[in-house]
Chain A
């Protein structure tokens, strides 16, 4: 096992082209900052509860947890608006919760209930919330990369000056659909940003065993595309680089790859013995925890007291517990639901 790089605080690590200088991303207000912290903390607590629920048999099938990667979804989302479409793979709880899915319907979906965000039809891997431009949760690795291209194409076609953030795992860079999409994006100037959530593993396969170039942002080189590699445990650093690429996409319709270096604390799904990595490695990463980093930053800024943050966290814990209970008390879908939503 090769040593995995730990965060250094550098933010952007490398690019295939010089990044344009649009200056600093607009400051977030105190309230906005707290909102993102709250969403990251909520995601963490939601996943912890999901883990327990899985262990006690309340959830069936696959369940891919986001612990450790929270600053990716939060930092990138905070660089765009809820009007910009996003789409991701099956590790999608964070993207759903941060794009307006309430924890109640989110849990209810995991528990297969009628009150689930997609009526119990999609499960953990298929959160959708089109009201807030969240176009799913997708289970086929790499399949969403072409869809993200299409969403971005449509916004450009309609003259909307939007950008689509399309999320994917490191393992998904090896799918043909992704390569075809990269070429189309650059050729047709489509405002899509491919956010590679590089958590170092594709199931049990470390990046150096699945990708010929281990620096995944270099996939952009073959397409004359902007490729950026950045550290991703720090919300503010993620937000800044995402904002720059989003601005570039809006102003110039230019696509990019944004490879964000992160880490998942849990197994791939729920039945992963994790023989492919050491406990020490996981512990090392936990020392660079994205939720803790933002918490510390907010406190050091002095705009919020520790007491207020504790209170916010208690509220979130309560919300998670109540949402879980509400979901559990929800009914299962009626049998007739099998045959609805098949055709429009």
Chain B
């Protein structure tokens, strides 16, 4: 076990898989000579050369489509979006091509590829640059979506995604790139579709993912002081979603608070709440509450932005209400 930064875990995963399999290549804006806008591909150009670490012009639809076409032909591309907010320029390629072609070809074609990159708000980069799009992409059958919160998970999940035969979105977060955490030594894979219990507890289940995991862990310390024992589940994978782990926890604690950075309307937490009330209706002691981003575009001003994504105060408020 060594402690490494999230961005280095991203780089290590790509590096190991590119070493393992010559069909894996990386394409995106500023990924080669600039080492990535967020330095997630540092050193890869030197190691693998310009045929496999490719700087693209600002042509998201073009290079995403290029990668999908290459995957149809048997390569295993990794597309980096500087942020997933820019993936919307390539939205048609992802949702109409990557997601649908296997089905429409009657299973003749597979699309083994990864779209990865930064996402989320909290950095004062405004409404167009702050999207948390995991719920949006998760609505398309044919796509898988993972949102790792820790260095070990991003490495293990990204490696699994690269080896998977489906189009997978690995959604990262700028706030996490610099954070260090323990990563196992050697070659390991984290299974896609498996949640992780970050902390065991008895009073309330908190289901979360991505950057919000860190916020929830912080809130849990405060809750602990108040005598509330929260069980924290990091979904890690949004599609597929690990329902058995979620249901088992709710059946144990009888309470659920969902916390995530997507919008409240049709967001990930809305999906979790709907399934849990169906599967665990008799076990619930209180209505399920959600702490999400707010129903507004992301404002620029830090004075407003901090209130727009889940924060410790809102999480504590919701938990207190549920266990009351």
Contacts and interface: CB of A to CB of B under 8 A. Distances in A.
Interface of A: 60-62, 109, 112-113, 116, 120-123, 125-126, 138-143, 171-172, 174-177, 202-205, 209-211, 275-276, 332-333, 335, 337-339, 342
Contacts of A209: 33, 55
A141 B33 CA distance: 20
B126 A61 contact: yes
B57 A210 contact: yes
Given A61-B126, A332-B303, A337-B304, A176 B59 contact: yes
Contact of A276 (B29, B33, B89, B294): B33
Contacts of B58: 141-142, 171-172, 174-175, 202, 210
B165 interface: no
Interface in B295-318: 295-297, 299-304, 307-308
B34 interface: yes
B61 A126 contact: no
B127 to A, nearest CB: 8
A60 to B, nearest CB: 4
B30 interface: yes
B303 A112 contact: yes
21 contacts: A61-B300, A112-B302, A112-B304, A116-B301, A123-B124, A125-B126, A140-B128, A141-B86, A202-B58, A203-B34, A204-B33, A205-B29, A210-B57, A210-B58, A275-B34, A332-B301, A335-B304, A338-B294, A338-B296, A338-B307, A339-B296
B247 to A, nearest CB: 34
Contacts of A337: 299, 304
Interface in B71-101: 85-86, 89
Contacts of A342: 296-297
Task: Give the interface size class of chain B.
Answer: 20 to 34
A254 to B, nearest CB: 27
A96 to B, nearest CB: 14
A204 B30 contact: yes
A175 B88 CA distance: 13
A62 B301 CA distance: 12
Given A139-B128, A139-B129, A342-B296, A176 B301 contact: no
Nearest to A114: B301
A225 B301 CA distance: 42
B45 to A, nearest CB: 12
Contact of B126 (A123, A142, A211): A123
